[in-house]
Amino acid sequence: MKAEALKKRLDKSRPMTTITIRIPEDVIEDLKRVAPLLGFSGYQPLVRAYIGQGLRDDLERLEGDTEYREKGYEVFFHPHLEDLPDFLNNYRPDMIERRGEETVVIEVKSHSSLNSSSDQYLRNLAQAVEKHPGWRFELVMTNPENTRYSLKAEDSVQKHEIESQLQVARQLTTQHPESAILYSWSLVEVTLRLIAQKEELSLQRFDPRYLINQLATKGVISKSEYQLLMNLLPLRNSIAHGFKTTQITQNSVYELIELTEQLLRTLHTGDEAD
């Protein structure tokens, strides 16, 4: 969700309306039973939370839909069974994007929706997709509306520490590319936060997709830098959440390390200009 929309959504004084809906009595009883277990004062706040989370997930999917269409992909939102290949008959992915010989299967999940059952479903889906050339799996994580981002850019690792840790990432790359890309990604995120601080950008939160989009929108990072980061983000997400991927290569890690070094040079240049 975009920053301005999120800000409006968090405004408790925004206009409200009352609606009446019919819900089976047994569902109401289940809601009453679940509400206190999840920390809600009653079943009505829980219903609002369910609606809000479902809406945010779909808005995230629609934003991803627009992003892929702009890149020339044909997008299938909640694809029908007839739009799926045989190896996906047991799955219902949130989106499928096609462009030429490339097909992307996308699942959008919130952190609160992940559990052992959903983890197993996603793992099986990722493995089914990765077996087929030209197909790749992407996991998009959304953030709950009430998350508090108390982190500050000044709490981040600083430039000289990033430079030394990039050498560690290089050493990891040959034998452990999965570990190396996670480590390198953490360093590029830190660098992006420092750049945002240098540019005096007002950020609502620090999650990577939002951070990258904000820096690209403001022209702080180039189109090619944006594209590289967005291409690598799904790989980082898959590995971070325990999913196998055949797409990680040493070159992918080196590209990320070199981009981080390039961004650090931008920070050095800015410091010298000051």
Q: Give the model's pLDDT for residue 145.
A: 41
The SS3 call for residue 229 is helix
- pLDDT for 176-235, tens place per residue? 888 899 999 999 998 998 888 888 887 766 778 888 888 888 889 998 999 899 888 888
Of 193, 204, 202, 173, nearest in space to 260 by CA: 193
What's the predicted TM-score (pTM) here? Answer: 0.49
Q: Give every residue of the chain whose pLDDT is below 50, as ranges.
A: 1-3, 6-7, 9-10, 144-155
CA atoms within 13 A on the CB side of 56: 25
Burial of 235 (0-12, 13-18, 19+ CB in 10 A): buried
Inter-CA distances, 228 with 172, 216, 233, Å? 21, 12, 9
Q: Give the model's pLDDT for residue 262.
A: 92
Q: How many C-beta atoms surround the C-beta of residue 155 within 10 A?
A: 9
Angle separating helix axes 25-37 and 43-70, nearest 10 degrees: 90
Q: Give the model's pLDDT for residue 87.
A: 92
* Bridge partners, residue 107, by sequence: 139
Q: Give the model's pLDDT for residue 229.
A: 92
Of 258, 44, 242, nearest in space to 139 by CA: 242
Of 234, 253, 114, nearest in space to 180 by CA: 253
> Alpha carbon 192 to chain centroid distance?
16
Inter-CA distances, 196 with 200, 218, 266, Å? 6, 10, 12
